[in-house]
Amino acid sequence: MSLFAVLLPAENPKLIAAIKEKFPDHYEITSTQWMISAKGTVKQISDTLGVSVQENPIGSAVLLSISGYWGRASTELWDWMKVKMEESANV
């Protein structure tokens, strides 16, 4: 499993619904900032969400693969990321 950040330029109900449906173990930082733990590449995650498909894209977003992290955030977010990174290391 890898960690991905999904950054939306604005709230997009269809894309938010896709994140919740396709990646139920997500972490919502804000309505435009999401963390996902999944197998695959950034392109595959983008395709799964419908962002980078050729016909009828669901909306705009920037997706990033995360290999490390630092900063200030809620304890819940740090705990979620730590667990997901440890799961990734143990696979």
Report the CATH number that the domain containing residue 22 is assigned in CATH: 3.30.70
- Looking at residue 91, its pLDDT comes to 61
* pTM exceeds 0.85: yes
- Domain membership of residue 78 as a residue range: 2-89
68: pLDDT strictly greater than 90: no
Average pLDDT in the chain: 94
The percent of residues in the chain predicted with pLDDT above 90, rounded, is 82
DSSP 32-91: TEEEEEESS-HHHHHHHHTSS-SSS-----EEEEES---S---HHHHHHHHHHHHHHHT-
Question: What is the tens place of the pLDDT at every residue in 12-49?
Answer: 999 999 999 999 999 999 999 999 999 999 999 999 99
- Looking at residue 35, its pLDDT comes to 98
Q: Domain count for the chain, please give it.
A: 1
